[in-house]
């Protein structure tokens, strides 16, 4: 009787594979910060060894802050998923940002507040086509305040789904956040859950869905960007 032996696995390759699966990759926007922190760490280490240790901790934290973990996005159509990790702070009727041209008819605004400990990349909430992208300068109030949606610096966009449903997603700067990154443009076709932007370093993301959507989250609930379903969207009648 012959037996088939399983090929032996290289322990180092196995450990490397586990590390790749455990340690998330870094968003490209974070590379200049990590490289700068690493260079400063080397310099500090030459001047004073304990300072180099602190610099190393800072460099590691910076790399961790800009992490972009893989996510498993629900595939069922008609869902709007969370555009960001964070805590649901508000669910309320609200007019979408005027610069998006969606009119003054209230939609449902679902706001998520991000602390510096949350993943800070933003993800597409609905597959479709980018209709509008609009940046508006503003203040840098604490992102957990109600008026932050209206007064703070923001980058907004409208996504039209395959059935014609439109949602709006807004990146909002906060008290510490001073830089909004958006890597998509008008006319781009986007997939649900794909990364499209980043806010540094503490912020808020608002999702506007049609008023007759079925909201599936509550204030205080934690969301996982690209995975948590926020709402079931109404079907558009042709």
Task: Give the contacts of 19 (CB within 8 A, at least 6 positions apart).
Answer: none
Q: Answer yes or no: are the C-beta atoms of 215 and 107 closer than 8 Å.
A: no
Q: How far apart are CA 192 and CA 74, in angstroms?
A: 8
Q: Which of 111, 203, 213, 238 is catalytic?
A: 203
Pair of tokens at residue 77? 């159509």
- Is 156 a catalytic site residue? no
Cα first-last separation, the chain: 67
The answer to whether the peptide bond before residue 48 is cis (omega within 30 degrees of 0) is no
- Compute CA distances 119 → 60, 71, 86, 113, 131, whole Å: 15, 12, 8, 11, 26
C-alpha closest to that of 168 among 228, 128, 217: 128
Q: How far apart are CA 60 and CA 58, in angstroms?
A: 5
Angle value at C-alpha 106, between 103 and 110, nearest 5 degrees: 120
Q: How far apart are CA 208 and CA 107, in angstroms?
A: 6
Beta bridge partners of 114: 203
**Residues labelled catalytic:** 203
């Amino acid at each position: 009787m012959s037996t088939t032996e399983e090929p032996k696995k290289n322990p180092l390759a196995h450990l490397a594979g586990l590390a790749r699966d455990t340690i998330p990759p870094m968003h490209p926007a974070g590379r200049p910060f990590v490289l700068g922190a690493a260079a400063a760490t080397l310099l500090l280490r030459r001047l004073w060894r304990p300072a180099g240790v602190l610099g190393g901790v800072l460099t590691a934290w910076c790399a961790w802050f800009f992490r972009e973990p893989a996510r498993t996005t629900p595939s069922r159509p008609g869902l709007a998923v969370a555009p960001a990790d964070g805590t649901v702070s508000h669910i309320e009727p609200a007019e979408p940002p005027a610069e998006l041209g969606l009119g003054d008819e209230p939609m449902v605004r679902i706001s998520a507040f991000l602390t510096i400990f949350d993943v800070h990349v933003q993800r597409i909430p609905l597959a479709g086509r980018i209709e509008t992208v609009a940046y508006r300068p503003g203040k840098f109030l604490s992102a957990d305040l109600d008026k932050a949606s209206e007064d703070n610096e923001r980058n907004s966009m409208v996504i039209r789904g395959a059935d014609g449903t439109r949602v709006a997603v807004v990146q909002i700067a906060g008290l510490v956040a001073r830089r909004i990154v958006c890597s998509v443009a008008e006319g781009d076709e986007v997939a649900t859950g794909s990364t499209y932007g980043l806010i540094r370093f503490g912020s808020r993301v608002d999702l506007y869905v049609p008023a007759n959507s079925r909201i599936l989250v509550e204030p205080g609930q934690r969301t996982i960007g690209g995975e948590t379903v926020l709402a079931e969207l109404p079907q558009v009648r042709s």
